[in-house]
């Protein structure tokens, strides 16, 4: 069982770890699980900030932790909902049934969602930037931070201890063990959460990167000493680190990202695959690292994380029934939805009787504002000329990545 953890006098994390059985948001694999964090803030009155859904015993987990703090559900005076996504609100109807007097505070845009998801209209109060909640000896301040990552999202700040309850922002995938705070993690645990922060950001936040930058700007005058997100670890030694990491990830939308190339490829009978080696060698000739993903064998979640941090992209895909090979179409669709904009890119691939993949690649690359170096496309198996062209084009791409500062 997880224990309640005190952040500072009267502020506690209560949390549940979810395993790897389900997909996050019904789409993203979580091979290392994910934590759902809620927070208790105690003044004369008690507030619960964000919640859980009844997912793999999460409700039982946090109920036991509340009891360890001598808090029954009926003792909670206020429920602050920073965000309406059901991983943080799924248990709302049952909580309200068990504690009908609880007052719900959320952003103006969240009010109709509380009704739509849970049929609750009573005792729901809209709050916005600058509004405060007096708990008696302690106050909470609200800040609208729309689209990090839904339109209704906000954050809650406790100014005395400088605790920012940021909900999804500054979060990560991955279960949290006994090391809860950034200063308790080993180097390898930090590396683990850096990887899970990247994949979490690329999968669920990246499309909203301009809002991340705006939200962080809004918070710059607050004296933030602790960042307490609703997924992942708590930052108390160096909260600036995770803010800086999020700003860096947000900047990748406009490029440059990191000086590396993500190569994602599909092949039906090996004729597109046959160019792979030449293309990889072309990138490596410029000493630029290249990460290779094959689809549909690899899940889009991992391809997207890799693509988000790469300044260069190489798409290897054949034509299939006059169009792009469907698994690669699905990948480009995800890259488009996630706004993997402004990359140096190239394509290679084979066709049989007719082309068609290139037309769809051109449409995506236009929508994604990619700077396309070119395409090496051939009928059937690649000739030596095609292999040489693949090497040369990949090398040009690597040079463009290297020179993009
Ligand atoms: Fe963790 Fe957008 O919910």
pLDDT at 60 > cutoff 90: yes
Are 304 and 236 in the same domain? no
Q: Which of 206, 233, 251 is the last residue of a domain?
A: 251
Atom 2 of ligand 1, nearest CA residue: 85
Quote the CA–CA distance of 117 and 127 in Å, as a whole number: 19
How far is CA 327 from each of CA 142, 208, 266, 267, 360, rounded to the nearest angstrom? 43, 25, 8, 10, 13
Q: Residue 135 has what pLDDT? A: 98
Q: Residue 23 has what pLDDT? A: 97
pLDDT at 109 > cutoff 90: yes
Q: Residue 328 has what pLDDT? A: 98
Whether 13 is covered by a domain: the verdict is yes
Atom 1 of ligand 1, nearest CA residue: 168
Are 219 and 287 in the same domain? no
Q: What is the pLDDT of residues 3-31, one digit of tens each?
A: 999 999 999 999 999 999 999 999 999 99
Pick the atom of ligand 1 nearest to 86's CA.
3
Pick the atom of ligand 1 nearest to 167's CA.
1
- Compute the average pLDDT of residues 202-227: 97
Whether 315 is covered by a domain: the verdict is yes
Atom 3 of ligand 1, nearest CA residue: 85
Are 169 and 307 in the same domain? no
Q: Residue 22 has what pLDDT? A: 96
Pick the atom of ligand 1 nearest to 204's CA.
2
Q: Residue 331 has what pLDDT? A: 98
Pick the atom of ligand 1 nearest to 168's CA.
1
Whether 140 is covered by a domain: the verdict is yes
* Residue 200 structural domain: 5-251
Q: Where residue 329 sits, what CATH number does that domain have?
A: 3.40.50.360
How far, in Å, is the centroid of ligand 1 from the Cα of 92? 15
Pick the atom of ligand 1 nearest to 231's CA.
1
Whether 256 is covered by a domain: the verdict is no
How far, in Å, is the centroid of ligand 1 from the Cα of 400? 36
Are 227 and 276 in the same domain? no
- Compute the average pLDDT of residues 327-354: 98
Q: Where residue 22 sits, what CATH number does that domain have?
A: 3.60.15.10
Q: Which of 251, 283, 311 is the last residue of a domain?
A: 251
Are 71 and 40 in the same domain? yes
How far, in Å, is the centroid of ligand 1 from the Cα of 87? 6
Number of domains in the chain: 2
- Compute the average pLDDT of residues 200-228: 97
pLDDT at 199 > cutoff 90: yes
Half-sphere exposure of 151 (CA within 13 A, CB side): 6
Scanning the structure block, which residue is given the tokens 């299939």? 320
Handedness of CA 16, 17, 19, 24 (dihedral sign): positive
What letter would DSSP give residue 98?
H
Are 86 and 206 in the same domain? yes
Q: Which of 251, 269, 296 is the last residue of a domain?
A: 251
Tell me the pLDDT of the chain averaged across its residues.
97
pLDDT band for position 192 (cuts 50, 70, 90)? very high
- Compute the average pLDDT of residues 312-336: 98
How far, in Å, is the centroid of ligand 1 from the Cα of 141? 21
Q: What is the pLDDT of residues 28-54, one digit of tens each?
A: 999 999 999 999 999 999 999 999 999
Longest dimension (CA), the chain: 78
Whether 45 is covered by a domain: the verdict is yes
How far, in Å, is the centroid of ligand 1 from the Cα of 28? 12
Are 236 and 274 in the same domain? no
How far, in Å, is the centroid of ligand 1 from the Cα of 114? 15
pLDDT at 1 > cutoff 90: no
Q: Which two tokens stand for residue 364?
A: 């995506």
Pick the atom of ligand 1 nearest to 149's CA.
2
| Protein residues with CB under 6 Å of any ligand 1 atom | 83, 85, 87-88, 149, 168, 230-231
Are 210 and 270 in the same domain? no
């Amino acid at each position: 069982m997880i224990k309640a953890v005190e952040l500072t006098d009267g502020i506690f994390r209560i949390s549940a770890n979810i395993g790897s059985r389900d997909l996050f948001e019904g789409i993203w694999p979580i091979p290392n699980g994910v934590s759902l964090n809620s927070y208790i803030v105690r003044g004369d009155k008690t507030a619960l900030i964000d919640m859980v859904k009844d997912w793999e015993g999460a409700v039982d987990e946090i109920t036991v932790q509340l009891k360890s703090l001598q808090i029954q559900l009926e003792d909670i005076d206020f429920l602050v909902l920073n965000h309406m996504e059901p991983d943080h609100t799924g248990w709302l109807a049952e909580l309200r049934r068990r504690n009908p007097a609880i007052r719900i505070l959320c952003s103006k845009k969240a009010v109709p969602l509380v009704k739509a998801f849970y049929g609750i209209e009573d005792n729901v109060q809209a709050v916005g930037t600058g509004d405060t909640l007096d708990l008696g000896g302690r106050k909470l301040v609200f800040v609208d931070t729309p689209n990090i990552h839904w339109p209704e999202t906000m954050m809650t700040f406790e100014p005395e201890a400088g605790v920012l309850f940021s909900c999804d922002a500054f979060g990560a995938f991955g279960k949290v063990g006994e090391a809860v705070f950034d200063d308790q993690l080993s180097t390898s645990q930090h590396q683990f959460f850096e990887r899970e922060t990247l994949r979490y950001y690329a999968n669920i936040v990246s499309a909203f990167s301009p809002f991340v930058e705006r939200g962080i700007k809004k918070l710059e005058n607050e004296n933030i000493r602790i960042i307490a997100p609703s997924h992942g670890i708590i930052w108390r030694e160096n909260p600036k680190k995770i803010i800086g990491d999020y700003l860096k990830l947000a900047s990748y939308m406009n490029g440059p990202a990191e000086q590396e190339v993500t190569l994602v490829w599909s092949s039906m009978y090996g004729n597109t695959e046959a160019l792979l080696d030449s293309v990889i060698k072309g990138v490596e000739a410029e000493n630029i690292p290249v990460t290779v993903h094959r689809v549909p064998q690899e899940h889009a979640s991992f391809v997207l994380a890799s693509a988000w941090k790469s300044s260069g992209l190489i798409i290897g895909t054949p034509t299939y029934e006059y169009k792009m090979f469907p698994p690669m179409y699905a990948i480009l669709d995800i890259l488009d939805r996630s706004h993997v904009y402004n990359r140096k890119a190239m394509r290679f691939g084979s066709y049989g009787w007719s082309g068609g993949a290139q037309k769809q690649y051109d449409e995506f690359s236009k929508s994604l504002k990619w700077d396309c170096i070119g395409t090496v496309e051939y009928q059937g198996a690649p000739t030596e000329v095609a292999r040489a062209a693949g090497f040369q084009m990949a090398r040009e791409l690597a040079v463009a990545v290297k020179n993009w500062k």
